[in-house]
Amino acid sequence: MIKVLVADDHHLVRTSIARVLDSEPDIEVIAEADSGESALESCRIQAPDIAMIDIRMPGIGGLETILKLLKTQPGIRIIALTGQVDEGTAQRLINAGVTGFISKGTELDLMIDAVRRIADGERFISADIAQRVVLARSEGRHNPFDQLSHRELQIATMIIHCYKVSRISEQLALSPKTVNTYRYRIFDKLQVQSDVELTHLGLRHGLLDNLGPRT
C-alpha cells in the first residue's frame, strides 16, 4: 500500500485529489494538510511514503516545506504540485531532490500513474513543466531570480504576492530588521529600486500566479 499525504490550502483541490487517490486499491491517503506547518507535522507523525505538496501555501510555504522534508526525512518522496511555476524554481526543486513535479492541470489518471511510478523509485515531471525547463535551457534564457538564495527567493516571492514586512516576519519567524536586510539585498541583486519594480520583474518571470496573494 502506498501511503500518501496531500497538502494544498485550497480545500476543493486538496479533497478532490485525496478522494481520487484514496479510491485506488493500492493507494491510501493517510493525511491532508492546508499549510506548510501542518504538512511537516503530519509527515513527522504519519510517515507517508509520498508527500504531494503545493508549492504555494500560506505559512512557511510549500518551497520551504519541501526543503525541510528533504532534510529531515530523507526517505520520503516528494511530489511538487503547482498551478504555475517558473523554470528556475522547477530546476531548483529538481536539483534539491524532488522526485515528481505535477501540474494541477494534469489528467487524474496520469496523476495516479505518477504516484505509482514515484513509489517504484522513478521520477515524474508533467509534460508542460518539463517542456518549459528544457526550452529555457536550450534557448539559454536568463532568469535573474536564479541568483537568489532559497531564503531570498522565498522572501522575494512573498513581496511579489503583496505580503508586508510585518507579515513576512511573523510567518518566517524573522525580525522585521532581518526581513528588510534580505529585501534590500534582493533589490541589489536584481537591480530594482522598489517592491513595485520587483513585482513587475516577478510577473515577467512567472513568479506571480493567477490567484493573487494567499491568506
In the numeric block, which cell numbers belong to residue 19?
Answer: 478522494
pLDDT at position 198 over 60: yes
In this prediction the pTM is 0.68
Pairing of strands 124-125, 100-103: parallel
pLDDT at position 192 over 90: yes
Contact by Cβ (8 Å): 131, 182: no
Strand, helix or coil for residue 162: coil
Residue 44: Cβ within 10 Å count = 11
Contact by Cβ (8 Å): 202, 156: yes
Residue 86 has phi, psi (to 5 degrees) of: -85, 160
pLDDT confidence of residue 144: 84
Residue 182: Cβ within 10 Å count = 21
Work out the pLDDT band at 64, boundaries 50, 70, 90: confident
Going along the chain from its start, the domains and CATH numbers come out as 2-138 (3.40.50.2300), 144-204 (1.10.10.10)
Q: Tell me: the pLDDT tens digits for 129-186?
A: 665 555 555 455 567 887 888 788 888 888 887 888 998 898 888 999 999 999 999 9
pLDDT confidence of residue 104: 79
Work out the pLDDT band at 55, boundaries 50, 70, 90: confident
Work out the pLDDT band at 207, boundaries 50, 70, 90: low
Portion of the chain with pLDDT greater than 90, in percent = 39
pLDDT confidence of residue 204: 76
Beta bridge partner(s), residue 6? 32, 52
Q: Tell me: the pLDDT tens digits for 76-121?
A: 999 998 876 666 667 777 777 888 888 877 888 889 999 999 999 9
Contact by Cβ (8 Å): 129, 109: no
Contact by Cβ (8 Å): 117, 125: no
